[in-house]
Amino acid sequence: MTLDISSAPIASDTTDHAPPGRRPPAAWARDLSASLVVFLIAVPFSLGIALATGAPLTAGLAAAAVGGIVVGLFGGTPLQVSGPSAALTVITAGLIAQYGWQATCAITLAAGLLQLLLGVRRVARTALAVSPAIVHGMLAGVGLAIAIAQLHVVLGGSPQSSAPANLLALPAQLATPHPAALTVGAVTVAVLLGWPRLGRLPGRYGKFGGRLAKVPGPLAAVAAATALAIALDLRLARVELPAWQPHGLAPDLPHGPPLAVLAAVLTVTAVASVESLLSAVAIDRMSHRTGDLDRELRGQGLANLVSGLVGGLPIAGGAVRSTANVRAGARSRRSSVLHGVWVLAAALALAGGLRRIPLAALAALVLVVGLQMVSFAHIRKVHRHREFPVYLTTVVAVVLLGVLPGVALGAATAVLLALYRLTRAHVDVLAGPDGSFRVETHGPLTFTAVPRLSRALAGIPAGAEVAVVHDGSFLDHAAYETVHSWRTGHQAGGGRVSMVTRRQDDEVLDPDGTVRAGSSPGPHRCRAWTPWVGHHCIEQQEDPHGRLLDGVRVFQLHTAPLVRPELARLAREGQTPSQLFLTCADSRMVTSMITNSGPGDLFTVRNVGNLVPAPHEPGAADDSVAAAVQYAVEVLEVRSITVCGHSGCGAMKALLDGVHEQPGRPTPLARWLRNGRGSLDRLRRAPAEFADRPAVDLSEQLCITNVVQQLDQLLANPAVERRVAEGTLRLVGMYFDFATAQAYVLDRESGRFGPVEASAPRQERDTPGPVDGFEQVPAGGTAVADPARDGGGPGLAA
């Protein structure tokens, strides 16, 4: 249903945010263009992976073609591109060394069958339960092992059978490098690292470099190294592409202990599945889609089955190829399928040209890819979540022992760390000025904490008034008996004891130590984690300035100590936001709340009506928004811009009421609202719509139509237009409905606003429930011990 405001027919709108007069390319044309970009990345990458594993180089091309076509047709993540995986390089190399190439094909085939079975059983999301520290540690360890092995090839030698052996042989290899191979490898690395920076050259060189940088870096690096080797007639080992002989590549049963073969199949299955599913989740988020992970796992299994049959490497979803596919503008699974077709055609028709590529160039390419698998962003994130011991153990173990033992050791470290944290409790005794004491416990109180708890309680003088505050975590029987016995004895000596369970979402004391009037039990509570919930309390309405200062005091007391290290880091390093968030100045719109963001995450621009003045708008242009956009795009180099509207927008209502066209001298508000005339015109021509419901009224339809219009007007900014054309900047439309607390995101393919589905983050924990022996009341309040529940003893009111 569409709400009309005129009798004119409504035109369809693609909402592909192109400037006026420019029609966006059709979906098939974008898929064709993206497939060529991914193809140019996949060919050198596949050859390099095959070289690193010791497999026939045709196996890399076969895996790329099968991954593109089979997973493209049958996978559950349309924009993911699959092929030979760097994460499987060390595993595959070990299998080839132990069982031979044809037996490795059989292991790949068996792993594909197991993936198919797991996909049919719909257990794909179980693979995502692996600790991110283990996954990133495994990838970093594999990357280091790859880099160490390929460094030998770059230096003109041959890699050994294991990473420790490569490390031991490296000094001798460094002492006797092969000059030609080292030169070709150095040129490859230099081009690969410098290619993305061509667009940053000054003046007209930057424009030319930006056009040149559209050619994929891996292709440019390998092409430059090959041209250099041919021009200088360097004597180097080059690519060997044997004639395609399916009977020679057919899988053969591996000879060895059955348990070892089974472990190999499980290892390939686990690593390929986890990498593919994690990549699928990331690509879905990047493309604002919701894929089918079980179908994706079945597609990966079918691809590995076919790859094993035709003599290809093990296949997994790749973040590098998939990201390039999305950024190149792919719209459907046609892009992945076409990329596979181009790879197959290249393997059959361009064999002569591929044979001219020096092996040192491919080794240098894989070396850089391996080093890039050690992500400092992941290290910082793991360290922030106190999981660095798990990460470091996994990395070192994978490099020294291999993937399977490394992951096992990482998992064991994660379990031990979790057990340590589950049994680690803090007990603090705070003395008050009036002689009272406050015992605060943090963390699970188990039998391991009993000695620490007993010492703390024993140090409290007899007869003192004591408040025991537990944070609501687990309390086992041993700890309960310790607290109960001490309380009975302390009360018998004339002391008073109050026992309080303090939950993190309950009320806390104000800075002056008194309980706020609005925080008494009842419907109007002022909670510390969201002090704005109590904005309707009477005393706040009487003194809004006092309420503001109270909020600042609460921040200084409770929040400042927690965020001070992060703010200090931002003060040292400066801001590096990844997104520009342009929204309305409405006081109900709390950007950090609806985006779950913190300091340094969003570069925010707010104005009345979330408008982006167009340069061609007569009498209404405003440079402040354009300046902020230019600063965010060119200086901060944000990767996305979100325009967010909201329900009940006063600016949109004013536009419908014609405030901007009132006679007489226009007010500042009227002049500003003229920037919304394009939204009114679009509402008459092609109003935006919701995917799951009709607009509530004309005002809401204008609110979402305004978001689409402002995205179009953003492209009138030259900096935005350039970055979007390069594929390095994404424009996102968003709408927030206050009444339902529901966010909607514009789907560029359908042109409609769809609801953002809720999904709990993995680190989210259930809120702890009441603990035996403690009354669940607001922190800072009082409780009465229940003698019936506590097992006897007088009940004392604190």
130-183, pLDDT tens digit by residue?
778 887 888 788 788 888 888 988 888 888 777 888 888 888 888 888 888 899
pLDDT at residue 503 is higher than 80: no
**Closest residue by Cα to residue 105 from 315, 296, 342, 398:** 315
| Alpha-carbon distances, residue 156 vs 92, 220, 365, 653 (angstroms) | 23, 22, 15, 72
pLDDT tens digits for 203-239?
677 677 777 777 777 788 888 888 998 898 888 888 7
DSSP element (H, E) containing 564: helix 560-573
| Alpha-carbon distances, residue 519 vs 179, 467, 500, 602, 768 (angstroms) | 76, 20, 16, 32, 21
pTM of the model: 0.54
DSSP bridge partners of 409 = none
Residue 435: burial class (beta carbons within 10 Å; 0-12, 13-18, 19+): exposed
Q: Which residue has the higher pLDDT, 85 or 707?
A: 707
Strand order in the sheet with 775-776: 426-431, 437-442, 465-470, 496-501, 775-776
**Closest residue by Cα to residue 740 from 705, 676, 690:** 690
Q: pLDDT class for 797, splitting at 50, 70, 90? A: very low
pLDDT number for residue 6 = 36
pLDDT number for residue 176 = 85
pLDDT tens digits for 242-253?
655 554 456 778
The answer to whether the CB of 437 falls within 8 A of the CB of 467 is yes
pLDDT tens digits for 557-586?
777 888 888 888 888 888 989 999 999 999
**Closest residue by Cα to residue 399 from 407, 387, 390:** 407
Q: What is the mean predicted confidence (pLDDT) over 103-111?
A: 94
The answer to whether the CB of 358 falls within 8 A of the CB of 153 is no
**Closest residue by Cα to residue 41 from 59, 66, 69, 68:** 68
| Count, residues in the chain | 798
Q: pLDDT class for 118, splitting at 50, 70, 90? A: very high
In one letter, which amino acid is 479?
A: A
Residue 231: burial class (beta carbons within 10 Å; 0-12, 13-18, 19+): exposed
**Closest residue by Cα to residue 519 from 779, 797, 157, 149:** 779
Pick from 56-60, 362-366, 643-647, 781-785: least confident: 781-785
Residues 753, 687: Cα–Cα separation, whole Å: 12
The answer to whether the CB of 51 falls within 8 A of the CB of 238 is no
The answer to whether the CB of 96 falls within 8 A of the CB of 104 is yes
Phi, psi of 753 (to 5 degrees): -90, 120
pLDDT at residue 394 is higher than 50: yes
What is the number of other CB atoms lying within 10 angstroms of the CB of residue 574? 8
Q: Residue by residue, what is the 3-state secondary structure of 193-246?
A: HHHHHHHHCCHHHHHHHHHHCCCCHHHHHHHHHHHHHHHCCCCCCECCCCCCCH
pLDDT at residue 515 is higher than 80: no
Residues 577, 566: Cα–Cα separation, whole Å: 14
DSSP element (H, E) containing 270: helix 258-287
